[in-house]
Structure 1
Amino acid sequence: MTDDSASTGYMSRKRDAAATKQAILHAARTVFTQSGYDGAGVREIAGLAGVDPRLIGRYFGSKEQLFTRVVEDAYADHLMMTPETNAEAARALLSDPTAAHAAGMLLTLRSASNERAATIMRDSLERNFQRVLADELAGPDAAARAALLVAVCTGVQFMRNVLRSSELVNGDAGTLAVYLRAALDAIAAAPSAPAAE
């Protein structure tokens, strides 16, 4: 038994909704990463997945909803940057990224010019990363400090892994990690109470 794709000339596969959804998601991650939101087409994604384009609508509703799901998956794995974890976070930020992290950065850069895509990515970052980080920070202005930490994290990753800054790529990782940890700690640690006047 085959799904609807068999009757329209697409790859024949046994009826398996979960496998079909995964094939679509995998293809969508590839196409959105390569082409960005505006350059990605539903037919291209379906073709790469080997399914009828109508199945994207059936399982995900629309290109926008499919992009939202891809972004949620891409942003699911993130660093904690608290005083207790900043030494590890600094080392990770100054190391070569995993394939998934590199793809997530390219997905973000290539889709950010689309206003709707930018909104989807911002919402995911704020809901799944920034808010979780803020909940771990002691002291005042935790949400604002979490946003600054996310910005520092993103900036370091962009400069090192996309623009390939020579100092960040070729410099002594141990020394750089000491400086980066100090910067992260300066934001993450609860600020001291202001001196009374």
Structure 2
Amino acid sequence: MIDDSAFTGDALRKRDSAATKQAILDAARTVFTRSGYDAAGMREIAGLAGVDPRLIGRYFGSKEQLFTQVVEDAYTDHLMLTPEANAETARALLADPTAARADGMILTLRSASNERAATIMRDSLERNFQRALADELVGPDAAARAALLVAICTGVQFMRNVLHSSELIGGDTDTLAGYLRAALDAIATAPPAPTGQ
């Protein structure tokens, strides 16, 4: 029988299941972010966590289930995209990202080529963020508008923090934030009722 004392290397921990599980999750996030879903190995994750590889199966069941939990954790740092929050959101998108947001972007890019990983990430994003955002939006087509808002944010983060767009990094942040807020507000604000022709 495997127990939590089955550690390898120098990292000897107490027989604490919560600490063991968290160590595995932390290591998995590092490896999935660095290597992507396909290239990440369970032995590599176990080695980084300082645990017996069999403990991954005990706590998470499979690589897919472990990845699902990592994605759930990585996608929790969301920006609000409603009209009253968009000024702050625009500034945040044009600033250096939090570690969680940066990891989430890189994890997504490096894992998206795997169809199952892409499904897991899309489900998490839609369930935990996009649908909640849609519930906050007033007016028609809230779900589609929420998806557009998420897409705009993702695009800005990708261009600024991954491709390092010189205009988004070196431009006038106040001016850019004003433009970005206007774009977010245009989608987040309910459109006017159509007039008769």
Task: Give the TM-score normalised by structure 1.
Answer: 0.96
Which segments of 5 or more consecutive residues in structure 2 lack a partner in the other structure?
none
Contact 1:159 1:165 in 2 (8 A): yes
How many residue pairs get aligned? The number is 195
- The equivalent of 1:95 in structure 2 is 95
Matched letter for residue 56 of structure 2: I
Percent of paired sites with the same residue = 82
- The equivalent of 2:105 in structure 1 is 105
Find the residue that maps to 1:133 and give its secondary structure: helix
- The equivalent of 1:61 in structure 2 is 61
Task: Give the TM-score normalised by structure 2.
Answer: 0.96
- The equivalent of 2:20 in structure 1 is 20
Residue pairs, 1:1-197, within 5 angstroms:
3-6=4-7, 11-197=11-197
Matched letter for residue 58 of structure 2: R
Which segments of 5 or more consecutive residues in structure 1 lack a partner in the other structure?
none
- In the aligned structure 2, how far is the partner of 1:94 from the partner of 1:189? 21
Give the direction of change, closer, same or farther, for the CA distance of 1:185–1:5 in structure 2 (3 Å limit): same
- In the aligned structure 2, how far is the partner of 1:19 from the partner of 1:149? 37
- In the aligned structure 1, how far is the partner of 2:59 from the partner of 2:100? 23
Give the direction of change, closer, same or farther, for the CA distance of 1:10–1:66 in structure 2 (3 Å limit): farther
- In the aligned structure 1, how far is the partner of 2:9 from the partner of 2:32? 25
Q: CA shift at 1:99, angstroms?
A: 1.5
Contact 2:5 2:13 in 1 (8 A): no
Q: CA shift at 1:9, angstroms?
A: 7.0
- In the aligned structure 2, how far is the partner of 1:10 from the partner of 1:113? 35
Find the residue that maps to 1:196 and give its secondary structure: coil
Q: Deviations over 1:4-34 (max 9, x none)?
A: 515x778432210000001000000100000
Q: CA shift at 1:100, angstroms?
A: 1.5
Matched letter for residue 105 of structure 2: M
- In the aligned structure 1, how far is the partner of 2:11 from the partner of 2:63? 21
